[in-house]
Structure formats: C-alpha cells, structure tokens
Amino acid sequence: MTMALESNAFFMGVEYLAVFCCGLVGGLAAVRKSYDLFAILVTAWLTALGGGILRDVLLEVPPVGITDRWSVLSALASGVVVAVVHPEINKLKWSMLTLDALALGLFAVIGTSKAMYLGSSGMTSVFLGMATALGGGLVRDMLLNDVPMIIRDKHWYAVPSALGCVMTVFVCKGRLAGLLDAEQEIGLDILAIVLVVAMRLSSVIYNIKLPGAVERHNVYLPGERRYLQRPDITPRTDGEEPRRSARWDEDDDA
C-alpha cells in the first residue's frame, strides 16, 4: 500500500516546494556565516534532506536524499538561489517562518506514514517522523556549530511535529485496517499538517512557550530541613564562633 500523499501529484509538488524552502533556510544560515558557495550548497542539501536521509538509514531503505533526483535538485537549487538573493530572503521573516512550518508539518506526516507502511510500530513511526521533520535542522546546526533549533527556539517547534506524527499513526492504522479510503486519508493528513502549522505559527505570534523547570528554594530530605541558599553568617566580636541563621544548604553539616 502506497502513501496517499506520495501518490498524489499535487502533494508531490508541495513536498518538493517544502524541500526547496528548507534548503533556503539552511543556505541562509550558511550565508550569515560568510561561507563559500560549496558550503552553502551542502548546508542547503543537508537541511532539506538530512531528516529524510536519517529516517531512511534507520529504515534500511535507499535514502531519498541521494536517490530522488527531483528532491536533490530542489535542495541544490535552493542553495544557488539563496546565494544570489539572500538579502531579499532575509527580509521575508514571516513568509519563511510560514514555509518552514509547512515543511515541518509535511515532513512529519510523510515520514511517519513511510515508517508505518514499511512495517514499523506506532511508537517507532512517531520517532522516525520527528526525525524526518527535525533531523535536517539538527544536522545543519551541528554542522554550523550552533545550538540546535529544537533547543534554541523556546516557542513550539518539536511539540507540533510530535502531535502531527501521533495523528498520522492513527490515520495510517485506520487505512491499514480498511476503515479509511485514500481520499479520507489525504483529508486527515492535510488536517494534521494544518494543525502543525497553526500550532507553530500561533506559538510565535502569541509568544507561547513550554514551561521550564519548577523554581525551588528548599530541599526536602528525610529527617532534615535543608535550603538551597548559602547560610547567613553573622560576625561576632566577642571571640566566639560566628552565629549562623536557620538557612543552610546541602553542603553544610553533611
């Protein structure tokens, strides 16, 4: 059984557009580092197709990043384009953000579907879908010695792709069980992509972030009361030991 999106010429075109846009983002990162044309092309190619290569290597199938002619040409073309028109592309912040979100959703759905139809479990397919969606950016940032986007960007980035992958697993299971036909599968896949794009853009527009670690001031251990702050020591002038306050930390009186 073939993937519904991959069997539709329109969505194949959209996928190549997503590859091209991801390549623009990666190539632009290399331009900002003042690298040469070869480095720009390599960075664009890895950003656009690195996630798919990682997925296919784990699935033990020929990597699409070196076997699909049009995908490779789209990625390399994006590197050439960004090398010439990078000042204009650098100004298109929201357009590039939207296209990047579209690529994030599309790659998440396609990567998960491919893993499912090749016999992977649901959990494995989610991880491989996320590798497809996030792997290219991760490889790019490691190559350019930057903090990876999935860590650097505090807005929703990995979370929408994970949700899209989970939704795709249920859609694929429905198709494999005969509960959905190809048209219904395409419709639900599009819904998953739209959800990923909407979550990603909403988090940036409204500055929505995941919470960090819980702020703590005390350490609670059995039989003892310990604090995270250092002790307050009051100096004495009568020759006795300095007076400590009731606040001490884990290193004191251990």
Whether residue 209 is predicted with pLDDT greater than 80 in this model: the reply is: yes
User: pTM of the predicted model, to two decimals?
Assistant: 0.79
**Which pLDDT score, from 0 to 100, does residue 249 have?**
47
Beta strands in the chain (DSSP E): 218-221, 224-227, 233-234, 243-244
Cα-Cα-Cα-Cα dihedral of 91, 149, 155, 116, to 10°? 110
Q: What is the pLDDT of residues 30-79, one digit of tens each?
A: 999 999 999 999 999 999 999 999 999 999 899 988 999 999 999 999 99
Cα gap 92→90, rounded to integer Å: 6
**Which pLDDT score, from 0 to 100, does residue 224 have?**
57
**Which pLDDT score, from 0 to 100, does residue 248 have?**
44
Token representation of residue 247: 């606040």
For residues 77 and 22, is the Cβ–Cβ distance under 8 A? no
Whether residue 29 is predicted with pLDDT greater than 80 in this model: the reply is: yes
Q: What is the pLDDT of residues 80-128, one digit of tens each?
A: 999 999 888 888 888 888 888 988 998 999 899 999 989 899 999 999 9
SS3 category, 221: strand
Tell me the pLDDT band of 247, cut-offs 50, 70 and 90.
Answer: very low
Cα gap 46→139, rounded to integer Å: 7
Q: Using alpha carbons only, what angle is made at residue 18 by residues 105 and 164, rounded to the nearest 5 degrees?
A: 10
For residues 203 and 212, is the Cβ–Cβ distance under 8 A? no
**Please, what is the average pLDDT of the chain?**
84
What is the DSSP pairing of strand 233-234 with strand 224-227? Answer: unpaired
SS3 category, 246: coil
Q: Where are the domains of the chain?
A: 9-205, 216-254
SS3 category, 250: coil
